[in-house]
Structure 1
Amino acid sequence: MNNPVVKFYLYRVALIAVIAVPLMFFINALLALAIGLLGSMLLGFVLLRGQREAMIDHIDAAAKRRKEEKQRLRAELAGDDA
């Protein structure tokens, strides 16, 4: 798996599970998932920083490629040789 977006979300889900599953033995499952989600948001901000930056770079590169392709196609449609 080479897609940083998928990796980030899998790590986020894993972080939720690591927090919520042990809590489910002591409290309501829905409350444990809510705590897991909040904990994932807080811990993910620190623990997943590198993965988040890789995901942002990946998305930015894809947006740049799409923008360049759109400009190239518009130039071709206009009859310019670019």
Structure 2
Amino acid sequence: MNPVAKFYLARVALVAVVAVPLMFFINALLALAAGLLVSMVLGFVLLRKQREAMIAHIDAGVKRRREEKEQLRAELAGE
């Protein structure tokens, strides 16, 4: 599975785990806001490996596109 999708699914699941139980006690909108705030803090600690995998995946794509672009420019320059 794509690390970017995996990270965002984990982030949404974390928000849901925090917000859904709060909805039984407080307003749904307020519970969602509290869930977002709490999940930011928890996500920083709990989703570290997924975040690092996502960054590595994005970085690899950027490097690959940069190399392809340089190769194309070299071919167009006649080298």
- SS at 2:73 equivalent: helix
Alignment of 1:1-82 (within 5 A): 2-80=1-79
Structure 2: runs of 5 or more not aligned? none
Measure the CA separation in 2 of the matches of 1:40 and 1:64: 31
TM-aligned CA deviation for residue 23 of structure 1: 0.4
- 2: CA distance between counterparts of 1:18 and 1:5? 20
Q: How many residues align?
A: 79
Runs of 4+ in 1 over 3 A off after TM superposition: none
**Shift of residue 24 of structure 1?**
0.4
Distance 1:39 1:10 in 2: 16
TM-score for both structures, normalised by structure 1: 0.95
Identity of aligned residues (%): 80
Q: Report the CA distance between 1:16 and its aligned residue.
A: 0.1
Aligned-partner Cα distance in 2 for 1:52–1:8: 6
Gaps of 5+ in 1: none
Q: Secondary structure at the match of 1:27?
A: coil
Structure 2 counterpart of 1:41, one-letter code:
M
Considering only aligned residues, what root-mean-square deviation do their CA atoms show, in Å? 0.5
Q: What's the offset of the Cα at 1:73?
A: 0.5
